[in-house]
């Protein structure tokens, strides 16, 4: 388990632990809240009795070097307080991480589980294999017997239905759709904002994501459009599709089921899929088994997992994840003045990109070129061009088209580039993408800071210490290290031998006419 957070304290039951019933047979860890206002009130009353541990400070402080980076104690306690139906969620979730995800994942938050794969591997293939696919969960992982699985369609549809997985898979009823699509968390690259410009702590913890909160899979299932049609179509004022998950969500002392919404327009253009397969395999539990939503080009948060219900409504969902979170604020909004209505809703993901290798602060010994790899993505289109700068954003080099992976309507492109590098010392490299609509990225993270630390889409920068061994003086120095059997790294380890003999020094000084000017 993760090291204890500094504000950790042991969980202590206040009063008696409640027992909330499982909602459905064959489903474990699913408490239905939204249909039972009294149950919600009861849960709020229970939560009000607790003084939950405060999330740890990690924005004004260095990030812990542990893995998991953060534990999520507060969130664990929320679950403990709800009694046995979901109090074992932190353990169950962590077991699924160990079972379904790669061993070397970077666990940015242990519970609810948030994790990303190592940078280098993520861009070695254009399709992300399932164990490497990032996970951004908002609660625990319900365990569902697929033979007992169904979801409901209700609200502003003409013919509300319950639909089982078996029915959904029946190709005589629903045609299949299989689409390669990237999913991205709006927290991707948040780490760049965190330490430069601390922002919303968020009780769930705004996880310190690196560049890996994005992944690409071939999703197979049924277009939601077909399902709505099967339910008799929308009523006239049906404007938004609200998705409910089986997971429990907490916000400011209230309890909810995870819920979000998308405009019906998105469904009508076949960009909302109900998927049971991820890269030709059944969905892993951690990714929503047996059925999840996949909304193409949108923030991952809309792609609801463990779908229980689709509710057609006449306006965006008032559920907290939709109304109160994933909002994009202007940089003068913050703790002192922010309101939910002052941010716009993050739905379509902007054009963005990242350098995955080398990583920030690497020291690279090279012959005049350094190889960069990375990804580029645009939620509203597709990457047309990727450019790398070797001087922080003045000169740009185009990544040749043959170094970009295949174009998909709804997916990223991975890329690699041999960048010319003449200069030595600390250099700043950055990348930007142009999509098919000529959108590109802000130049600096400074211009894109926002209180909730979402969508770090500015040009991604890495500082690299360049050692160009095609230069004679550099070759000579490296040889001195080699001859003495000494490592050149770490960079800041003092050079244990003299940098220049007195003789060479005096000769050079003479050439330069000494250190002093002349009268």
Q: How far is the CB of 437 from a copy of itself (least distance, A)?
A: 16
* Beta carbon nearer to a copy of itself, 57 or 95: 57
DSSP per position, 197-227:
S----TTTT-----TTSEEEEEEEEEEHHHH
* Beta carbon nearer to a copy of itself, 35 or 265: 265
* Beta carbon nearer to a copy of itself, 99 or 463: 463
**C-beta of residue 177 within 8 angstroms of C-beta of residue 225:** no
201 part of the interface to a copy of itself, by CB under 8 A: yes
**CA 358 to CA 429: how far, in whole Å?**
10
**CA 113 to CA 286: how far, in whole Å?**
9
Q: Count CA atoms within 13 Å of residue 10 on its CB side.
A: 2
| 138-146, 283-291, 368-376, 472-480 -> range binding a copy of itself (CB under 8 A) | 472-480
> Binder to a copy of itself among 104, 280, 367, 498 (CB under 8 A)?
498
Tokens of 212: 């890996």
> Binder to a copy of itself among 23, 53, 59, 134 (CB under 8 A)?
59
Sites for a copy of itself among residues 255-314 (CB under 8 A): 263, 265
> Binder to a copy of itself among 13, 48, 395, 495 (CB under 8 A)?
495
316 part of the interface to a copy of itself, by CB under 8 A: yes
487 part of the interface to a copy of itself, by CB under 8 A: no
Q: How far is the CB of 512 from a copy of itself (least distance, A)?
A: 7
DSSP bridge pairs for 230: none
Sites for a copy of itself among residues 392-431 (CB under 8 A): 423-426, 428
Which helix (H) or strand (E) element contains residue 45?
A: helix 37-48
Sign of the alpha-carbon dihedral angle for 34, 39, 41, 42: negative
Sites for a copy of itself among residues 428-447 (CB under 8 A): 428, 446
Name the pairing type of β-strands 425-435 and 460-468.
Answer: antiparallel
512 part of the interface to a copy of itself, by CB under 8 A: yes
> Binder to a copy of itself among 91, 152, 203, 277 (CB under 8 A)?
203
Sites for a copy of itself among residues 448-467 (CB under 8 A): 449, 451, 463, 465, 467
Sites for a copy of itself among residues 67-86 (CB under 8 A): none
Tokens of 92: 């169950």
* Beta carbon nearer to a copy of itself, 4 or 423: 423
55 part of the interface to a copy of itself, by CB under 8 A: yes
Q: How far is the CB of 207 from a copy of itself (least distance, A)?
A: 14
Sign of the alpha-carbon dihedral angle for 41, 45, 50, 56: positive
Tell me, what DSSP letter sits at residue 283? Answer: P
Burial, 294: exposed, middle or buried (Cβ in 10 Å; 0-12, 13-18, 19+)? buried
**C-beta of residue 250 within 8 angstroms of C-beta of residue 320:** no
Distances (CA, A) of 456 to 228, 301, 394: 35, 16, 20
Distance of CA 185 to the CA centre of its chain: 4
504 part of the interface to a copy of itself, by CB under 8 A: yes
502 part of the interface to a copy of itself, by CB under 8 A: yes
* Beta carbon nearer to a copy of itself, 204 or 386: 204
> Binder to a copy of itself among 19, 490, 503, 518 (CB under 8 A)?
490
Q: How far is the CB of 257 from a copy of itself (least distance, A)?
A: 18
| 212-220, 222-230, 323-331, 370-378 -> range binding a copy of itself (CB under 8 A) | 323-331
Sites for a copy of itself among residues 347-366 (CB under 8 A): 361, 365
> Binder to a copy of itself among 14, 178, 337, 371 (CB under 8 A)?
337
Q: Count CA atoms within 13 Å of residue 61 on its CB side.
A: 9
In the chain, the largest separation of any two C-alpha atoms, in whole Å, equals 99
Burial 2-27 (b: 16+ CB within 10 A, else e): beebeebeebeeeeeeeebeebbeeb
Name the pairing type of β-strands 352-357 and 369-377.
Answer: antiparallel
């Amino acid at each position: 388990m993760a090291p204890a957070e500094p504000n950790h304290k042991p969980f202590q039951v206040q009063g008696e632990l409640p027992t909330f019933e499982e909602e459905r047979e064959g489903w474990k860890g699913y408490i239905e809240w939204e249909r039972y206002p009294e149950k919600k009130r009861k849960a709020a009353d229970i939560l009000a009795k607790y003084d939950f541990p405060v999330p740890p400070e990690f924005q004004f402080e260095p990030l812990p070097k542990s893995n998991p980076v953060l534990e999520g104690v507060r969130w664990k306690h929320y679950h403990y307080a709800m009694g046995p139906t979901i109090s074992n969620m932190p353990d169950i979730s962590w077991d699924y991480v160990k079972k379904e995800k790669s061993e070397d994942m970077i666990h940015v938050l242990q519970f609810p589980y948030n994790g990303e794969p190592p940078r280098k591997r993520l861009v070695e293939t254009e399709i992300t294999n399932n164990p490497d696919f990032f996970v951004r969960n908002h609660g625990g992982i319900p365990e569902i017997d697929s033979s007992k699985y169904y979801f409901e369609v209700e609200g502003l549809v003409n013919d509300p239905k319950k639909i089982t997985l078996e029915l959904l898979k029946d190709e005589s009823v629903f045609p299949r759709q299989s689409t390669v699509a990237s999913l991205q968390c709006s927290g991707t690259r948040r780490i760049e904002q965190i330490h430069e410009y601390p922002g919303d702590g968020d009780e769930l913890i705004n996880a310190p994501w690196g560049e890996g909160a994005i992944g690409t899979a071939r999703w197979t299932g049924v277009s939601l459009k077909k399902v709505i049609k099967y339910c008799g179509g929308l009523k006239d004022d049906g404007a938004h599709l609200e998705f409910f998950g089986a997971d429990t969500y907490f916000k400011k002392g209230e309890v909810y089921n995870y819920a979000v919404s998308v405009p019906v327009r998105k469904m009508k253009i076949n960009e909302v899929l109900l998927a049971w397969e991820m890269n030709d395999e059944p969905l892993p539990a951690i990714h929503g088994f047996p059925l999840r939503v996949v909304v193409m080009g949108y923030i991952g948060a809309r792609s609801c997992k463990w779908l229980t219900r689709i509710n057609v409504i006449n306006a965006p969902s008032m559920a907290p994840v939709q109304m109160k979170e994933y909002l994009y604020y202007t940089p003068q909004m913050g703790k002192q003045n922010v309101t939910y209505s002052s941010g716009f809703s993050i739905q379509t993901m902007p054009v963005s990109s990242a350098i995955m290798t080398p990583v920030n602060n690497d020291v690279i010994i090279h012959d005049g070129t350094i190889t960069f790899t990375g990804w580029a993505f645009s939620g509203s289109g597709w990457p047309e061009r990727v450019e790398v700068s070797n001087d922080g954003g003045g000169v740009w080099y185009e990544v040749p088209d043959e170094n970009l992976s295949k174009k998909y309507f709804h997916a990223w492109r991975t890329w690699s580039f041999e960048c010319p590098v003449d200069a030595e010392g600390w250099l700043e490299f950055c990348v930007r993408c142009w999509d098919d609509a000529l959108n590109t990225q802000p130049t600096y993270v400074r211009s894109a800071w926002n209180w909730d630390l979402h969508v770090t889409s500015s040009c991604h920068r890495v500082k690299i210490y360049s050692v160009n061994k095609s230069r004679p003086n550099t070759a000579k120095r490296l040889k001195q290290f080699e001859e003495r059997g000494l490592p050149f790294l770490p960079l800041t380890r003092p050079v244990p031998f003299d940098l220049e003999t007195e003789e060479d020094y005096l000769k050079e000084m003479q050439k330069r006419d000494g250190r002093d000017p002349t009268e």
